[in-house]
Chain A
């Protein structure tokens, strides 16, 4: 790295600079880039639907922190019931407009019988888990709204993952281990370091709540910035 051709002892400063600039440009171009992102069009109400979405916090945290919410709409209804920390109630279009949270990303949609089961589970446990997390709430490293999102995914066996910028999603207290929310991997967590490994999850290292890694399916690099990944959208 950084050596001039034909002269192995000499250092080539311009080579290092060019490489760093090239790397910076690639990262800048790819930063925030998700391929095949899910549409924010609301599904039809001919069957029960459950959706997992996240949105950015306000400035200046908008590139490093996201907040999740579950939106539930029963068959034939027009409004959505919201499950989240620090909120709740019903909304008309939580796919595009959810309070102060910006740039929503739809991570997963469950429909039909699967959604019926998910809606029932969220209704049964959602408020209790939320109340418990709101009582113990710590903005960073957790438990926070992302801890709630991940806990409900696991509790209701909804196979999905929150993005890397959902800081707090991997909070398990002083030490914790178990099956991942996606359901195809294992994770071991402490507040300082943690590790998630799985068939679909890939390899994700957690350092002081920040996630770095490689998602195997859909393929992406996991980073604690922007939408949390560079590559294909998770679904």
Chain B
């Protein structure tokens, strides 16, 4: 009996290995990258810090055995200033945990969670953050770029409960933009690039912040 069970297990493992070994050779994946310049200005108060301008890059990728669901990870790096507050600002985050759902040729919805740091010298307390971000990109040459991120803040008690709309988190920020660019199908692989312009929204320190975003975006993926 034990010998028969062992035989079944070995046969099962061999079959599983053959199946996923073949799949691994035909993995599916994609990536997107943004260069961004974003601004945000406090709407409902006039105290410092009042402006936040950040320039940076986002690089995210997803890989999986399915053409629809994939593991997603990424990194965001941005530096800037609180302008007249003159604080050197930074907003960095890594997202090692995540999942993406791909649809269309290069459209996707991606969720990611990780760890980050955000602050500005002298004007915004340095904080360790635990961000959870949802990113949606839809379309080809004309492409809708949207993202929303909630963050839990550590090491900066003054920034706790700073997002009135999301009582379960400390901060909230998002962007909605439209890309005007190109879609390519070189060698059967879909990709695209172009400049985008959009708006940003942030809830930080209990205040509402709005602003604009301009940048350049690239997307590419395996054929679906």
Give residues in A with beta carbon < 8 Å to B: 1-2, 8-9, 11, 13, 16-17, 19-21, 23-24, 27-28, 31, 58-64, 207-208, 210, 212, 224-225
**Smallest Cβ-Cβ distance to B195: which chain A residue:** A28
B182 at interface, CB cutoff 8 A = yes
State whether B197 touches A60 (Cβ < 8 A).
Answer: no
Contacts of A58 in B (CB 8 A): 186
Given the known A-B contacts A20-B211, A28-B195, are A63 and B41 also in contact in the complex, defined by CB atoms under 8 Å? Answer: no
Contacts of A16 in B (CB 8 A): 39, 41, 210-212
Complex: A136 Cα to B50 Cα, angstroms? 47
In-complex Cβ contact of B57 among A60, A63, A210 (8 A): A210
B191 at interface, CB cutoff 8 A = yes
State whether B42 touches A11 (Cβ < 8 A).
Answer: yes
CB distance from B195 to the nearest CB of A (A): 6
CB distance from A210 to the nearest CB of B (A): 6
Residue tally, chain B, CB below 8 Å to A: 34
State whether A225 touches B35 (Cβ < 8 A).
Answer: yes
In-complex Cβ contact of B216 among A20, A59, A64 (8 A): A64
Contacts of B195 in A (CB 8 A): 28, 31
**Smallest Cβ-Cβ distance to A11: which chain B residue:** B43
In-complex Cβ contact of A24 among B186, B214, B219 (8 A): B214
CB distance from B120 to the nearest CB of A (A): 16
Contacts of B43 in A (CB 8 A): 11, 13
Q: Is the interface of B mostly helix, strand, loop or mixed?
A: strand
Contacts of A63 in B (CB 8 A): 193, 216
Contacts of A60 in B (CB 8 A): 182, 184, 191-193, 218-220
Q: Is the interface of A mostly helix, strand, loop or mixed?
A: mixed
B97 at interface, CB cutoff 8 A = no
CB distance from A212 to the nearest CB of B (A): 7
**Smallest Cβ-Cβ distance to A20: which chain B residue:** B212
B55 at interface, CB cutoff 8 A = yes
**Smallest Cβ-Cβ distance to B43: which chain A residue:** A11
Which of A17, A20, A64: most chain B CB closer than 10 A? A20
**Smallest Cβ-Cβ distance to B186: which chain A residue:** A59
Contact with A along B177-217 (1 / 0, CB 8 A): 00000101010000111010101000000000011111010
Interface residue ranges of B46-66 to A (CB < 8 Å): 46, 50-51, 55-57
State whether B214 touches A23 (Cβ < 8 A).
Answer: yes
Contacts of A59 in B (CB 8 A): 182, 184, 186, 191, 193
Complex: A64 Cα to B33 Cα, angstroms? 11
Contacts of B50 in A (CB 8 A): 1
State whether B35 touches A8 (Cβ < 8 A).
Answer: no
CB distance from B70 to the nearest CB of A (A): 19
B134 at interface, CB cutoff 8 A = no
Contacts of A208 in B (CB 8 A): 57, 77
CB distance from B197 to the nearest CB of A (A): 5
